[in-house]
């Protein structure tokens, strides 16, 4: 015989009565106050377990018995053969090691799906989007950008010359020129259909092949749908976070979102490398040295007050040797036509480290550089140029 303690509810009021339930193979007797109820043991049903909460026992009637979670209750469930999958789950919930393993496994799955699965899904989805979506995306973005941009000051003849030169070697639907005093020398890919050049970028050089190298980089972003893929990734990650967290406080949301944010930065760096690779391939196919792209990176960097990695280090308050050297000495522009300069290092923010590998300053510099690379959405400029120079030598 199994004896259970708990609370009896008569089904007519919310008041509970302290009671016991005695169950044998032939009969079950519920006793409370001065009363008792005879119950057919074959009619007993036990609800699924929920942690250590009392479990409801019913018998085809409006009244029921809420039994405390005890070993006797587990024995009763086993004797009447009414166990369920939830009883097995409840058993696992009582094991600390299983809980820890399941929690870690779930977190790893979520992070793995967010960092690796979502980009793959976003990439596949981007290639089936109608081109009209990309065109509308670019139009909407350009309308917003034009609040801070002015009409190009370049002559109509110069704009037409560059458009004809660029588009004949790799077309996009729209190529615009804008004057951007606050932005300076730059170029933007708004979608697979649209690229924007600033006047400042065009005015950096008289060599149209150098401008073509930048155009090919932007064309790489357009052809590989990097803008569309990034948007779809952000939307998918937002959906994943919403499903996981619901209406969660800011701290919890930050903790959960940070790994995915770093993952987004990593994929942005990947997109930059892919665009560089595209540009290098296109330049080589035309017999133009990829060093043209490296030279433009030098010119762009020199046109700004400080480099990309300096901007990051200042915002993070990382005063490392590399950032100090880049700011103080300034980038040096190499001549891509000079064969002796192909192997030279230019404005390499990663160089100039202390010669003593055990120097604490050297360790701090390496840590700062690693953190910059982690947080940056673009590869470190010096590394991009080193990659381009190496590709220029590889015929």
The span from the CA of 169 to the CA of 80, in Å, is 79
pLDDT of residue 30: 87
Q: Is residue 339 part of a domain?
A: no
How confident is the model over 237-263, as a mean pLDDT?
A: 56
- Reply yes or no on whether the pLDDT at 357 is more than 70: no
Structural domains of the chain, count: 3
Q: Is residue 351 part of a domain?
A: yes
Of the two residues 197 and 310, the one the predictor is more confident about is 197
**How far is residue 185 from each of residues 72, 216, 286, measured CA to CA in Å?**
78, 16, 25
Residue 284 and residue 153 share a domain: yes
391 or 312, higher pLDDT: 391
pLDDT above 80: residue 96: no
In angstroms, the CA 198 to CA 58 distance is 76
Q: How far is CA 372 from CA 112, 145, 269, 367, in A?
A: 23, 28, 12, 9
- Picking from 66, 93, 120, the residue at the C-terminal end of a domain is 93
* Per-residue model confidence (pLDDT) at position 56: 84
pLDDT number for residue 90: 61
For residue 32, what is the domain's CATH number?
2.30.29.30
Same structural domain for residues 166 and 313? Answer: no
**To the nearest whole number, what is the mean pLDDT of the chain?**
76
The pLDDT value given to residue 363: 61
- CB within 8 Å of 256: residues ≥ 6 apart: 241, 244, 245, 248
Q: What average pLDDT score do residues 283-309 get?
A: 85
Residue 259 in any domain: the answer is: yes
* 283 compared with 364, residue with greater pLDDT: 283
316 falls in which pLDDT band (50, 70, 90)? very low
Range with lowest mean pLDDT among 102-116, 160-174, 190-204: 102-116
Residue 36 in this model has a pLDDT that exceeds 60 = yes
What is residue 113's DSSP assignment? I
Q: Are residues 114 and 221 in the same domain?
A: yes
More confident residue, 303 or 283: 283
Shared-domain flag, residues 104 and 232: yes
Show the 3-state SS of 239-278: HHHHHHHCCCCHHHHHHHHHHHHHHHHHHHHHHHHHHHHH
| Residue 317 in domain | yes
Residue 338 lies in a domain: no
pLDDT of residue 169: 95
pLDDT digits (tens, 9 = 90+) for 189-234: 999 999 999 999 999 999 999 999 999 999 999 999 998 888 888 8
Same domain, 374 and 322: yes
165 & 295 share domain: yes
298 and 183 belong to one structural domain: yes
Same domain, 171 and 253: yes
The whole-number pLDDT of residue 49 equals 67
Considering 19-33, 159-173, 248-262, the range whose residues carry the highest mean pLDDT is 159-173
Q: Can you give the residue range of the structural domain that contains 311? A: 307-333+345-395
Which of 93, 121, 144 is the last residue before a domain boundary?
93
Q: What is the pLDDT of residue 330?
A: 35
Same domain, 231 and 106: yes
Looking at the domain assignment, is residue 99 inside a domain? yes
Whether the pLDDT of residue 106 is over 90: the answer is no
- CA–CA distance, 218 with 223 (Å, rounded to integer): 9
C-alpha 303 chain-centroid distance: 31
pLDDT (average), residues 167-173: 95
> How much of the chain, in percent, has pLDDT values that exceed 70?
69
Residue 287 lies in a domain: yes
Does any domain span residue 23? Answer: yes
The SS3 assignment for 115 reads helix
When pLDDT is averaged across residues 116-134 and rounded to a whole number, the result is: 89
What does DSSP say about strands 2-9 and 35-39: parallel, antiparallel, or unpaired? Answer: unpaired
Task: Extract long-range pairs of 300-307: CB within 8 Å, 24+ residues apart.
Answer: 300/185, 300/186, 300/201, 300/204, 301/331, 301/347, 301/381, 302/330, 302/331, 302/333, 302/347, 303/184, 303/185, 303/200, 303/204, 304/184, 304/185, 307/331, 307/347, 307/349, 307/381
Residues 6+ away with beta carbon under 8 Å from 284: 290
Backbone φ and ψ of 154, nearest 5°: -70, 150
Boundary of a domain, candidates 93, 122, 155: 93
Higher pLDDT, 182 or 81: 182
pLDDT, average across residues 76-90: 62
Cα(187)–Cα(196) distance, integer angstroms: 6
Verify that 57 and 168 share a domain, yes or no: no
Q: Are residues 257 and 155 in the same domain?
A: yes
Q: Does 180 have pLDDT greater than 70?
A: yes
pLDDT band at 307 (very low <50, low <70, confident <90, very high): low
Residues 69 and 12 sit within 8 Å (Cβ to Cβ): no
Task: Note whether 65 and 134 are same-domain residues.
Answer: no
Burial track 20-31 (b if 16+ CB lie within 10 A, e otherwise):
bbebeeeebbbb
């Amino acid at each position: 015989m199994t004896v259970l303690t708990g609370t009896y509810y008569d089904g007519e009021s919310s008041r509970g009565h302290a009671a016991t339930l005695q169950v044998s193979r032939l009969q079950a007797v519920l006793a409370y106050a001065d009363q008792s109820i005879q119950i057919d043991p074959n009619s007993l049903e036990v609800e699924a377990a929920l942690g250590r909460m009392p479990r409801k026992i019913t018998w085809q009637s409006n009244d029921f018995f809420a039994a405390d979670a005890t070993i006797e209750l587990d024995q009763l469930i086993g004797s009447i053969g009414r166990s369920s999958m939830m009883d097995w789950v409840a058993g696992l919930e009582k094991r600390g090691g299983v809980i820890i393993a399941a929690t870690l496994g779930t977190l790893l799955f979520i992070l793995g799906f967010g960092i690796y699965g979502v980009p793959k899904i976003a990439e596949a989805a981007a290639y089936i989007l109608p081109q009209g979506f990309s065109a509308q995306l670019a139009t909407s973005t350009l309308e917003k950008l034009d609040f801070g941009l002015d009409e190009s000051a370049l002559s109509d003849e110069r704009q037409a010359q560059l458009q004809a030169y660029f588009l004949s070697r790799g077309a996009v639907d729209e190529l615009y020129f804008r004057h951007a005093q606050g932005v300076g020398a730059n170029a933007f890919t708004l979608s697979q259909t649209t690229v924007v050049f600033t006047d400042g970028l065009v005015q950096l050089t008289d060599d149209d092949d150098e401008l073509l190298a930048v155009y090919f980089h932007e064309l790489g972003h357009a052809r590989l749908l990097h803008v569309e893929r990034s948007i779809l990734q952000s939307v998918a990650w937002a959906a994943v976070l919403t499903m996981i967290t619901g209406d969660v406080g800011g701290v919890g949301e930050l903790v959960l979102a940070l790994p995915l944010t770093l993952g987004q930065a990593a994929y942005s760096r990947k997109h930059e490398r892919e665009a560089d690779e595209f540009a290098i391939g296109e330049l080589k196919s035309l017999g133009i040295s990829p060093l043209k792209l490296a030279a433009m990176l030098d010119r762009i960097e020199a046109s700004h007050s400080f480099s990309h990695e300096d901007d990051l280090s200042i915002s993070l308050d990382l005063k490392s040797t590399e950032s100090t050297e880049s700011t103080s000495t300034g980038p040096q522009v190499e001549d891509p036509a000079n064969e002796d300069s192909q192997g030279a290092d230019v404005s390499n923010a990663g160089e100039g480290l202390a010669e003593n590998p055990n120097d604490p300053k050297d360790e701090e510099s390496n840590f700062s550089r690693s953190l910059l690379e982690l947080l940056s959405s673009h590869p470190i400029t010096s590394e991009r140029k080193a990659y381009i120079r190496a590709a220029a030598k590889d015929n």
